[in-house]
Structure 1
């Protein structure tokens, strides 16, 4: 038996897949402890995993909802900068508090979300095996791949690579303060400073919940990088009441802007207006950003709920209008549901770019969002069979990828080959 520690941001889009992976490892007889802030405790315990709190003074109970509310009112690069400003503090306290919590818990191996920039420093200091988990878009460097925060499609031309490099330089400036924190701790812990970006990644195993078919062509990934497909399930998720009796039997359009970037109320008004007159029923999930009563009187009288049982509704959906969060996108594709994407920030533009590149949907940039533009995209995806066919093609790719079972195989195999803990 191996004792794994899970470390990831305490937000739904990262917790849900990590918990699914943790439960699969637990089912196989291993021990799994989540290391994080107090706001993740109740959901961790509901998922059946162990919990260890860190950073209790900086992140008391209720801190994460406040941060999410602030972030939910922003979009684009301002939202990215705001998130990285908060993330700088989180990574600093993670390096300060996590080693003690991990050692006290008796952890033997680390499962760390790839979005945690200090993951390799933490593992190196603890002298523990590190398995990276890509819950968001892959961050491994490749100048042929557009940065995750852009809606640029893949293009191997020289000018496109120069464009990508310029954008990566911009991102480097935004992320610079976090790297300074990383370097400070490496000096303090007498670890050699990183000389290249590749040294920040696990040398053991990296797993991604994308299927390979939902990624731009990459030629520089290490041979221990694995596309496993998504690892999500409904176990441990909070039960959500939903008025199924109000579904009309018409084709269902499900609209969700996620659980963080969901406070741009005008987006919901635009979605409702764009669906007026369609032979379909629109269901809007607010993702906790407000009460349904706050959006009464929307055009077309859509069914509005505070939260929705997303996995269940996607089994009934004909189309999803989404912020292009990775989890919602993969859950749509798991059910063969095409999408219209309205990305807000973080990796959502990059996910939306892959939705259009694979032909599984259309993209409407937030800066160009209007009722006519969105209505046109919705009608195009609803009426052209290619979108459904491509979503179904990716659904089959997800089935072949192996999912959570294969994702759990990889760390166990890596540890047995390199450390003999399993």
Structure 2
């Protein structure tokens, strides 16, 4: 059956960890005949480097700054950092709710992909009466009694104690997330609507990495990393030492002491660190790291990981998936967000070990690294996950799933997007976009 072209708007958190895989997914949708536009603050346009993907900026007047938001995300822990990060995220969600609908109506978007980590998307889809597709670039954010909240590093246990513990974790999560829930509740009441329900939810997460689930929505699809087809070739210097990839992602790369601990631990077991600091270190700081590591702001990490025997990561989901796709075992040093939950799942499936950041020393990290390298079960588990991801098909399969769901939804939304854009804009002007 021929595909009816759609203009798909993508709404997601404005960070590389979300924009990068969603661009790949968007590129596959373009290949299938659709038009794709990412929507956020104008500064986020710098995150879009695929010329096939459009970008539409929302009005950021009133002090909204993407650079300030990223700075807040870089310090997301502790009694001050965590509430501040949640308040900043709530403000970003409010900004999208108030200003993105006007932009989507103006550009004629007739379908919306909403990443699960940005809760504004389903409400915007309901406001505009557009078909909704859910994207999951990290762990599935689906609550179940026996599955711990994703921001906690708890192991899975299917018993009464586990359910009791998880219930408490979700209650604490609810308290912490009140600023975001308050914003969403205000808009639902003002607009007189509930969130749109997704036609389908596509995830990067492979089924083998998640905890067992009994209540997955029928619309949910596990998957594999959304990446370009061929990694960039790369020849690394060879001094005879095995290589270990070390990364704290883009937002956390300024943690010089932690990167130094990683480099020293690699040297302690006779390995050489390959460090990506995401632009967080100065040239002098990078040169001062111990153990003669190979250091860059950014590496083509898929190509690097193919040459490594292990990885030390903060648990950022994209880099974890890249390491597993290369069959590389991981030592996870989680910092915040979903990283503790990702690390716990790595340990649960046997593809890695967790080294808590609190009290981390060179010696402790070196012991964990030695174990994942020398004990074959860790690499075997990583390779088993790699095989599952290859079979899942990645972005091409996810895009085909989305395209089929939009086709089955019919052409009414596309017609409505063209016919009612003026009415939507007039209504939003009268109501002040609230």
The two structures share one fold, judged by TM-score above 0.5: yes
* 270-279 or 7-16, which deviates more: 270-279
* Equivalent residues of 2:312, 2:330 under 8 A apart: yes
Partner secondary structure for residue 146 of structure 1:
coil
Partner secondary structure for residue 263 of structure 2:
helix
Counterpart CA distance in 1 for 2:398 and 2:63 is 30
In structure 2, the partner of 1:152 is 154
In structure 1, the partner of 2:219 is 224
Residues 1:48 and 2:52 are matched in the alignment: yes
In structure 2, the partner of 1:204 is 199
Residues 1:376 and 2:367 are matched in the alignment: yes
Distance 1:72 1:234, change over 3 A: farther
Partner secondary structure for residue 366 of structure 1:
coil
Map Cα deviations across residues 382-411 of structure 1 (whole Å, 9 max, x no partner): 101111111000000001112111101121
In structure 2, the partner of 1:17 is 21
Distance 1:403 1:46, change over 3 A: closer
In structure 2, the partner of 1:90 is 92
Which of 9, 13, 37 is the aligned partner of 2:41?
37
Counterpart CA distance in 2 for 1:124 and 1:300 is 54
Map Cα deviations across residues 135-194 of structure 1 (whole Å, 9 max, x no partner): 1111111121111111111101111111111111111111111111111111211225xx
* CA-CA distance at 1:305 after TM superposition: 1.8
* 17-26 or 306-315, which deviates more: 306-315
Distance 1:59 1:42, change over 3 A: farther
Which of 285, 293, 298 is the aligned partner of 2:284?
293
In structure 2, the partner of 1:130 is 132
Distance 1:77 1:373, change over 3 A: farther
Counterpart CA distance in 2 for 1:92 and 1:36 is 12
* Equivalent residues of 2:254, 2:279 under 8 A apart: no
Distance 1:67 1:378, change over 3 A: same
Counterpart CA distance in 2 for 1:342 and 1:290 is 19
Partner secondary structure for residue 134 of structure 2:
strand
Counterpart CA distance in 2 for 1:300 and 1:10 is 35
In structure 1, the partner of 2:396 is 405
Partner secondary structure for residue 83 of structure 2:
helix
Distance 1:254 1:334, change over 3 A: same
* Equivalent residues of 1:55, 1:94 under 8 A apart: no
Counterpart CA distance in 2 for 1:382 and 1:330 is 18
Counterpart CA distance in 2 for 1:208 and 1:126 is 24
* Equivalent residues of 1:234, 1:311 under 8 A apart: no
TM-score by length of 2: 0.89
* Equivalent residues of 1:80, 1:345 under 8 A apart: no
* CA-CA distance at 1:377 after TM superposition: 0.2
* CA-CA distance at 1:279 after TM superposition: 2.9
* Equivalent residues of 1:87, 1:178 under 8 A apart: yes
Map Cα deviations across residues 282-334 of structure 1 (whole Å, 9 max, x no partner): 11111111223213333322222222221221121111100111100011111
* Number of aligned positions between the proteins: 409
Partner secondary structure for residue 202 of structure 1:
coil
Map Cα deviations across residues 172-217 of structure 1 (whole Å, 9 max, x no partner): 111111111111111211225xxxxxxx573421111111111000
Listed as ranges, the matches of 1:276-291 within 5 Å are 276-291=267-282
Which of 303, 312, 321 is the aligned partner of 1:312?
303
Which of 249, 273, 287 is the aligned partner of 2:264?
273
TM-score by length of 1: 0.91
Distance 1:45 1:57, change over 3 A: farther
* CA-CA distance at 1:23 after TM superposition: 0.3
Counterpart CA distance in 2 for 1:46 and 1:406 is 19
Partner secondary structure for residue 347 of structure 2:
helix
In structure 2, the partner of 1:195 is none
Listed as ranges, the matches of 1:338-417 within 5 Å are 338-417=329-408
Distance 1:143 1:76, change over 3 A: farther
Counterpart CA distance in 2 for 1:22 and 1:230 is 13
Counterpart CA distance in 1 for 2:400 and 2:152 is 33
Residues 1:259 and 2:250 are matched in the alignment: yes
* 412-421 or 122-131, which deviates more: 412-421
Give the aligned CA root-mean-square deviation in angstroms.
2.2
Distance 1:297 1:44, change over 3 A: closer
Which of 108, 114, 122 is the aligned partner of 1:120?
122
* Equivalent residues of 2:262, 2:365 under 8 A apart: yes
* 222-231 or 70-79, which deviates more: 70-79
* Equivalent residues of 1:118, 1:182 under 8 A apart: yes
Listed as ranges, the matches of 1:141-220 within 5 Å are 141-191=143-193, 202-220=197-215
List runs of 5+ in structure 2 lacking aligned partners: 415-434
* CA-CA distance at 1:77 after TM superposition: 6.8
Which of 302, 318, 335 is the aligned partner of 2:293?
302
* Equivalent residues of 2:139, 2:342 under 8 A apart: yes
